[in-house]
């Protein structure tokens, strides 16, 4: 399970890094999103992988930490997902505005 | 304790009144002057009443704890020395306010003037009454800032702007050095408390950091007190209104530097390094300032250089390291403040009445304004050190100290000669000022015909001159006691023997005085004819313009060097930058891994799950596919990217993170919608033939591929290594154990977000709000590229088809969804209430089960955007008023109010309260205040998401309107 997820993270980040070096803005936005998935999963994986151990307490009594998945990376990643959406939106708008102003969708604002 | 609290209003009242002054209308000259004057006078009286507490080495201390763990406290401390300075600041401040009332013209916007002046007074009082060194530096920098604002008060004048900028650059730079020096002192002593630092003098002097501390602190003091070579800013600051020059650049601000040197004198002085650096700077400043002053044609310029020279004198006295020198220095600080302030006021009166400050154009004013002339003459005599005036007394003390032997150094040997020479220069420029302005012929080309100013404009100068006289004649009975307690505050109980009287018998200092007087008069006689017509500035030196050099340096540093660095290191192209970034990250990671050594993980395939493997096979294909298609097939790439997101989402469910999965799912939906809306504005790109790819391109792609594979493999390796290691003990245990107990919720992730780490979340939703507003405002001025102005081909075809089949007017505005997406559109409309209920369900269960404000907010936003997609923007907005900005504002306010609510009950910001309420019929309902906070999150996230989506969606109808004209013509 760990190995599969690790390879998956690697594939997401690798594809993203490839796209980062491409010349078109749309490629960049897709690349950043892919890296975003990879990084979120990476941070999440720092809490180790658990199956059927959602950090939701079954009752109100004293809780045993070993029975639940690590909630901290989850809390971090949850806000990261939302902020990631916001930055994607911002980037998209900057991309569109730059395309309108320069007439080019090259990352440098002009064709090479 | 209660009595010591008096120091707080002493420092804060000027700032408060400053804000009031700023709010008054711009023609309220009298009101402004009244409130500023009453403030200054009130503080003066308040300070005077504190004297018994600071007499004989006593001190008032008031401590307010702020961050005691870091040694950061607000400490106010007033001893005899600070008391003397406080009296000067408030007293001269009061006189300057009266003077300014008559000096400032009715056209000047006075609220700004008085507000800055009062704020400056507060900063200055803060500097002298600080008991904590960091606090002192903060007030110190504030004096620089307000001085900048005051010098640049007439900002329409280029000289004022340049002078202000130069003063700020130099003094603020000095302030930074001072801060560094203070931090070093804190490192050595372990405390920033002034009393503690003063008690650890020998520890600092013996420390190996002593020289850096000394140099840094001295740069701060020298820049502020205009010591050579940092003196250049002071003459340029003379473009300030004259009351400002009288207050800041003679009496108070420039004294901050010598104040600091005196304050830290017990700690830093007495070493050969101190003697050399301070003595050299003081001597150079004393001599050069006096020499340059002779050759100024502007009265204020003459006074400015004279101020520089007198500050040099004080510095030189401090450098000697002898207690008597210190007493003389303090005495001269007070004396110089009184006579120089009155001289500046006289200069302002002359400028005001005659219309010029150029001494070549002035003359014979004695007959026209005898009172002002007499005042100026007495004050100048004090400046020159004529007997029966206060300047004479401190100068005699200076001469007495100069001939004493302090150290085996050429500086010490030279001191008496330099002292006599500089005093002779002082006599020369004083006579030049008096003779050039008040005597001789009245020039024909004087711009105005001068006469005596109003009585109240003369009054401040008159009072100051009176002080000069009284102190000069009866020093022991007037200033003696105060000077004694001021010196005792610095020196401690072991005070040197000294006597304040006019007559000490025939001795060497008297001989030196006489010599200087005679030499000065003779020198003026020689230079008189030359000065009457000469250019501004001293011979030879006038070619060496301090300001020019300063500008040159500034241009080099801020522009040339920056350009040079940019041309060396920068590239206008983004791709190499990103490539470099990824490459450096990879190299750094590999280096770190090989240096520190990474445990070789054993590959275990034991817990392989076939389904999970299959899932990720799809995920990897999606990721690589998206990378492959992103150039020519954007829609494919978007769909594949969504696929990768979905696989991520399923992994979250699989691996016990239901909250993440929910959030990822809804975010995935809105992101896809968002990018879909944006696709329309991108240029068409047709896939080219692959045969034409050059070798160079292939090589470049190979390199990029290598880097991508390297980064991917590295991340995968790192992730795997961490995942198979035993997890360390983290604070997670605390959260799990206490989520229910302290946070009142069962969903630990949600409790962390809205309760334990509520403040972080508050910051995050604020960021989200800011981003949404940025997106919105960027799109308000959105101009698409020309080739995107027309509606897409498919849409045009559809519109034409609709127009043909349906004759009604509505057809033009109808959405595409009406025609061939009729069924989905109806379903989407019906889903509206369902999604709203679902969002509320997610929100309400959030505290105890997966869900919460974030995911509910985005789900709610999805409900709105579905309506837009189903029925078109116009249809929705005719029927539904979504006010996303209000939702955002409400969310932020609700979240902040929940946090503030905790204060009402005496808890820290965002402390939450949780309990379960028993409701009839429904049963136990959780009622944590965190739920209200979560509602704030919900409201803001919803508002922000809707705002961004609608803003992009609106672009289509905006352009449709623009593109409609040709269509209408076609139809006609």
Largest Cα–Cα distance of chain B, in whole Å? 120
Evaluate the omega torsion of the peptide bond into residue B229 and state whether it is cis, within 30 degrees of 0: yes
Maximum separation of any 2 CA atoms in chain A, in Å: 65
- Residue B312's SS3 state is helix
CA–CA gap between residue B909 and residue B898 (Å, rounded): 9
Question: Which of B711, B713, B954 to mutate against chain A (most A CBs within 10 Å)?
Answer: B711
- What is the tens place of the pLDDT at every residue in B886-933? 999 999 999 888 888 777 776 767 676 666 666 565 555 566 677 888
* CA A12 from centroid of its chain's CA atoms: 9
Query: How does pLDDT run along chain A (112 residues), one tens digit per residue?
Result: 888 999 999 999 999 999 999 989 999 999 999 999 999 999 999 888 888 888 888 765 667 777 888 888 999 999 899 889 989 999 999 888 888 888 788 888 777 7
Chain A residues whose CB is inside 8 A of the B757 CB are 75
What value does the CA radius of gyration of chain A take, rounded to a whole number of Å?
A: 19
- DSSP code of residue B847: T
Q: Nearest CA to B315 among B383, B256, B234, B244?
A: B256
Q: Examine the pLDDT at B962 and tell me if it is beyond 50.
A: no
Convert the pLDDT of each residue in B679-732 to its tens digit: 888 888 877 666 667 888 888 899 999 999 999 999 999 999 888 888 887 777
Nearest beta carbon to residue A97 from set B630, B782, B858: B782
Q: In the predicted model, is pLDDT for residue B308 greater than 90?
A: yes
User: DSSP class of residue B79?
Assistant: E
Lowest mean pLDDT among A26-35, B247-256, B555-564, B643-652: B555-564
pLDDT, residue A39, reads: 95
For A77, nearest residue in chain B (alpha carbons) = B660
Mean pLDDT confidence for B32-48: 91
Q: Which residue of A has its CA nearest to B758?
A: A75
Range in B44-48, B400-404, B583-587, B854-858 with the lowest mean pLDDT: B400-404
Q: Which residue of A has its CA nearest to B715?
A: A10
Q: Which of left, alpha, beta for B852 (phi over 0: left; psi -120 to 50: alpha)?
A: left
Cα–Cα distances in Å, from B825 out to B815, B821, B872, B922, B951? 10, 6, 10, 37, 21
* Residue of chain A with shortest Cα separation from B713: A10
Here the tokens at position B926 are: 């959780």
Q: Is the pLDDT of residue B874 over 60?
A: yes
Distance between CA B496 and CA B708 in Å, rounded? Answer: 77
B553 vs B300, residue with greater confidence: B300
Distance in Å, alpha carbon of A111 to nearest chain B alpha carbon: 11
Residue of A nearest to B779 (CA): A93
Minimal Cα distance from A81: which residue of B?
Answer: B664
Grouping H, G, I as helix, E, B as strand and the rest as coil, residue B648 is: helix
Tokens of B349: 């009166």
Lowest mean pLDDT among B233-242, B622-631, B721-730: B721-730
Residue whose tokens read 């595409």: B816
Chosen from B715, B740, B758, B763 to mutate, greatest number of chain A CBs within 10 A: B715
Closest CA to B938 of B869, B865, B868, B836: B836
Give B170-210 as a DSSP string: HHHHHHHHHHHHHHHHHHHHS--BHHHHHHTHHHHHHSTTH
pLDDT value of position B603: 72
- B139: confidence class by pLDDT, cuts 50, 70, 90: very high
Contact B383, B290 (CB under 8 A): no
Q: In this complex, do A44 and B655 lie within 8 Å of one another by their Cβ atoms?
A: yes
Question: Taking the C-alpha atoms of B420, B421, B422 and B425 in order, what is their torsion angle to the nearest 10 degrees?
Answer: 120
Q: Do B290 and B258 contact (CB within 8 A), yes or no?
A: no
Query: With contacts defined as CB-CB under 8 Å, which chain B residues touch A63?
Result: 736-737, 739-740
H-type alpha helices, B570-633: 574-596, 610-629
- B573/A75 touch (CB, cutoff 8 Å), yes or no: no
Q: Is the pLDDT of residue B290 over 50?
A: yes
- Quick count: other Cβ atoms within 10 Å of Cβ B738? 16
Give ∠ CA B25-B26-B30 in degrees, rounded to 5: 85
Find chain A residues with C-beta within 8 A of B708's C-beta. Answer: 14-15, 17-18, 21
Sort out which chain B residues have CB atoms less than 8 A from A91's CB and list them.
none
Distance (Å) from the alpha carbon of B890 to chain A's nearest alpha carbon: 19
Q: Say whether A34 and B664 touch across the interface (CB within 8 A).
A: no
Per-residue pLDDT tens digits for B570-625: 777 888 888 989 999 999 999 988 888 777 777 766 677 889 999 999 999 999 99
Q: Would you state the pLDDT for residue B54?
A: 85
List of chain B residues whose C-beta atoms are within 8 Å of the C-beta of residue A97: 778-779, 782-783
Q: What percent of chain B has pLDDT over 90?
A: 32
The residue of chain B with its CA nearest to that of A108 is B573
List, in sequence order, every residue forming a beta bridge with B83; answer none if it has no partner: none
In angstroms, the Cα distances linking B178 to B138, B192, B253, B441 are 10, 13, 16, 50
Which residue from B795, B871, B857 is spatially nearest to B828, judged by alpha carbons?
Answer: B871
The pTM score is 0.68
- For chain A, the structural domain boundaries read 2-51+69-102
Cβ atoms of B779 and B955 within 8 Å: the answer is yes
**CB-based contact B651 A30, cutoff 8 Å:** no
Span B785-796, pLDDT tens digits: 777 777 777 777
Q: Are B663 and B652 in contact (CB under 8 A)?
A: no
Helix, strand, coil: what percent of chain B each, to 5?
75, 5, 20
Any A CB within 8 A of B627 CB: yes
Q: What pLDDT is stored for residue B969 in this prediction?
A: 39
- H or E element at residue B947: helix B929-971
Q: pLDDT tens across B832-852, in order?
A: 999 999 998 888 887 778 888
CB atoms within 10 A of CB B42: 16
Residues of B with Cβ-Cβ distance to A9 under 8 angstroms: 715-716, 719
CA distance B540 to B822: 91
Interface of B with A in 685-724 (CB under 8 A): 685, 704-705, 707-709, 711-720, 722-724
Q: Which band of pLDDT confidence, cut at 50, 70 and 90, is reported for residue B543?
A: low
Q: B697 to chain A nearest CA, in Å?
A: 12
Which of B139-143, B373-377, B519-523, B549-553 comes out lowest in average pLDDT?
Answer: B549-553
B210 vs B736, which has greater pLDDT?
Answer: B210
Question: Which residues does chain A have within 8 Å of residue B573's beta carbon, measured at their own beta carbons?
Answer: 107-108
What share of chain B has pLDDT > 70, as a percent?
91
pLDDT at res. A100: 82
Contacts of B627 in chain A (CB under 8 A): 15-16, 18-19, 30-31, 34
CB pairs under 8 A between A and B: 331
Say which of B609, B619, B630 has its CB closest to residue A19.
B630
Three-class SS string for A21-48? CCCEHHHHHHHHHHHHHHHHHHHHHCCC
Asked if residues B132 and B63 have their Cβ atoms less than 8 Å apart, the reply is no
Of A24, A60, A81, the CB nearest to B664: A81
- Torsional class of B190: left (φ above 0), alpha (ψ -120 to 50), beta (otherwise): left
Whether the pLDDT of residue B819 is over 70: the answer is no
Which chain B residue is nearest to residue A83, measuring alpha carbons? Answer: B768
């Amino acid at each position: 399970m760990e190995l599969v997820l690790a390879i998956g993270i690697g594939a997401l980040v690798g594809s993203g890094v490839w796209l980062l070096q491409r010349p078109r803005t749309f490629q960049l936005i897709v690349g950043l999103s892919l890296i975003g998935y990879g990084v979120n999963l990476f941070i999440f994986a720092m809490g180790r992988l658990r199956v059927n151990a959602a950090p939701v307490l079954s009752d109100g009594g004293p809780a045993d930490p070993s029975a639940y998945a690590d909630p901290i990376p989850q809390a971090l990643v949850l806000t990261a997902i939302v902020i990631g959406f916001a930055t994607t939106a911002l980037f998209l708008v900057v991309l569109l505005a730059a395309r309108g102003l320069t007439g080019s969708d090259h990352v440098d604002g002009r064709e090479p | 304790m209660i009595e010591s609290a008096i120091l707080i209003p002493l420092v804060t009242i000027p700032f408060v009144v400053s804000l009031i002054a700023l709010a008054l209308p711009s023609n309220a000259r009298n009101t402004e002057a009244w409130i500023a004057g009453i403030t200054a006078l009130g503080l003066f009286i308040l300070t005077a009443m504190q004297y018994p507490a600071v007499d004989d080495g006593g001190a008032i201390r008031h401590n307010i704890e702020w961050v005691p763990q870091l040694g950061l406290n607000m400490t106010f401390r007033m001893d005899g020395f600070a008391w003397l300075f406080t009296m000067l600041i408030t007293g001269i401040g009061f006189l300057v306010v009266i003077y300014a009332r008559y000096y400032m013209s009715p056209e000047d916007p006075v609220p700004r003037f008085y507000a800055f002046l009062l704020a400056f007074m507060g900063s200055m009082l803060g500097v002298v009454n600080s008991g904590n060194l960091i606090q002192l530096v903060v007030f110190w920098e504030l004096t620089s800032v307000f001085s900048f604002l005051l010098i640049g008060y007439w900002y329409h004048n280029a000289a004022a702007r340049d002078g202000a900028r130069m003063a700020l650059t130099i003094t603020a730079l000095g302030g930074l050095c001072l801060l560094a020096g203070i931090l070093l002192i804190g490192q050595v002593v372990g405390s920033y408390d002034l009393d503690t630092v003063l008690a650890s003098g020998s520890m600092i002097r013996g420390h190996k950091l002593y020289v850096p501390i000394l140099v840094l602190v001295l740069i701060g003091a020298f820049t502020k007190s205009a010591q050579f070579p940092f003196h250049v800013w002071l003459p340029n600051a003379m473009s300030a209104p004259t009351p400002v020059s009288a207050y800041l650049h003679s009496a108070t601000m420039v004294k901050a530097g010598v104040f600091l040197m005196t304050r830290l004198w017990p700690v830093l002085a007495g070493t050969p390094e101190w003697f050399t650096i301070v003595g050299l700077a003081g001597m150079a400043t004393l001599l050069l300032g006096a020499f340059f002053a002779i050759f100024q044609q502007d009265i204020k310029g003459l006074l400015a250089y004279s101020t520089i020279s007198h500050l040099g004198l004080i510095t030189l006295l401090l450098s000697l390291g002898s207690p008597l020198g210190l007493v003389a220095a303090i005495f001269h600080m007070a004396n110089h403040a009184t006579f120089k302030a009155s001289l500046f006021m006289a200069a302002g009166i002359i400028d005001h009445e005659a219309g010029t400050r150029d001494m070549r154009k002035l003359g014979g004013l004695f007959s026209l304004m005898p009172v002002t002339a007499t005042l100026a003459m007495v004050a100048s005599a004090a400046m020159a050190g004529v007997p029966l005036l206060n300047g004479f007394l401190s100068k005699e003390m200076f001469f007495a100290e100069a001939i004493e032997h302090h150290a085996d150094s050429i500086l010490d040997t030279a001191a008496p000669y330099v002292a006599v020479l500089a005093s002779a220069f002082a006599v020369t420029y004083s006579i030049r000022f008096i003779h050039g302005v008040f005597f001789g012929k009245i020039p024909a080309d004087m711009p105005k015909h001068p006469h005596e100013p109003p009585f109240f404009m003369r009054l401040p100068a008159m009072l100051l001159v009176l002080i000069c006289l009284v102190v000069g004649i009866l020093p022991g009975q007037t200033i003696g006691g105060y000077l004694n307690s001021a010196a005792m505050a610095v020196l401690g109980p072991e005070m040197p023997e000294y006597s304040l009287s006019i007559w000490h018998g025939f001795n060497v200092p008297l001989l030196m005085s006489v010599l200087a007087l005679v030499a000065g008069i003779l020198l003026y006689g020689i230079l008189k004819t030359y000065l009457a017509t000469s250019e501004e500035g001293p011979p030879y030196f006038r070619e060496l313009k301090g300001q020019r050099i300063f500008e040159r340096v500034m241009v080099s540093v801020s522009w040339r060097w920056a350009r040079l660095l940019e041309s060396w290191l920068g590239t206008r192209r983004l791709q190499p930058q990103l490539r470099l970034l990824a490459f450096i990250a990879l190299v750094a990671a590999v280096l770190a891994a090989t240096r520190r050594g990474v445990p070789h993980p054993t590959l275990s395939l034991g817990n392989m799950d076939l389904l999970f493997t299959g899932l990720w096979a799809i995920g990897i294909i999606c990721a690589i596919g998206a990378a492959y298609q992103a150039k020519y097939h954007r829609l494919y790439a978007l769909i594949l990217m969504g696929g990768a997101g979905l696989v991520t989402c399923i992994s979250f469910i699989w691996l016990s993170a239901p909250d993440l999965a929910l959030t990822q799912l809804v975010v995935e939906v809105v992101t896809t919608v968002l990018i879909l809306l944006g696709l329309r504005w991108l240029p068409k790109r047709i896939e080219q033939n692959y045969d034409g790819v050059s070798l160079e391109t292939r090589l470049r792609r190979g390199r990029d591929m290598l880097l991508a594979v390297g980064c991917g493999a590295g991340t995968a390796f790192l992730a795997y290594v961490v995942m198979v290691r035993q997890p360390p003990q983290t604070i997670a245990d605390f959260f799990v154990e206490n989520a229910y107990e302290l946070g009142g919720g069962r969903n630990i992730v949600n409790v962390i977000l809205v309760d334990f780490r509520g403040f972080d979340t508050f910051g995050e939703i604020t960021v989200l709000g800011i981003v949404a507003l940025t997106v919105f405002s960027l799109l308000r001025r959105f101009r698409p590229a020309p080739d995107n102005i027309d509606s897409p081909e498919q849409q045009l075809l559809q519109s034409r088809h609709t127009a043909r089949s349906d004759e009604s007017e509505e057809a033009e505005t109808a959405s595409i969804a009406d025609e061939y997406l009729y069924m989905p559109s109806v379903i989407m409309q019906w889903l509206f209430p369902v999604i709203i209920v679902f969002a509320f369900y997610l929100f309400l269960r959030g505290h105890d089960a997966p869900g919460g404000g974030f995911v509910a907010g985005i789900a709610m936003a999805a409900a709105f955007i579905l309506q837009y997609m189903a029925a078109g923007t116009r249809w929705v907005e005719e029927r539904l008023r979504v006010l996303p900005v209000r939702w955002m504002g409400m969310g932020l306010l609700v979240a902040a109010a929940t946090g503030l609510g905790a204060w009402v009950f005496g808890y820290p910001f965002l402390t939450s309260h949780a309990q379960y309420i028993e409701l009839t019929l429904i049963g136990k309902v959780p009622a944590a205040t965190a739920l209200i906070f979560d509602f704030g999150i919900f409201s803001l996230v919803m508002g922000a998401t809707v705002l961004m989506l609608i803003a992009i969606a609106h672009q289509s109808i905006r352009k449709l309107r623009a593109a409609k004209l040709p269509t209408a013509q076609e139809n006609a």
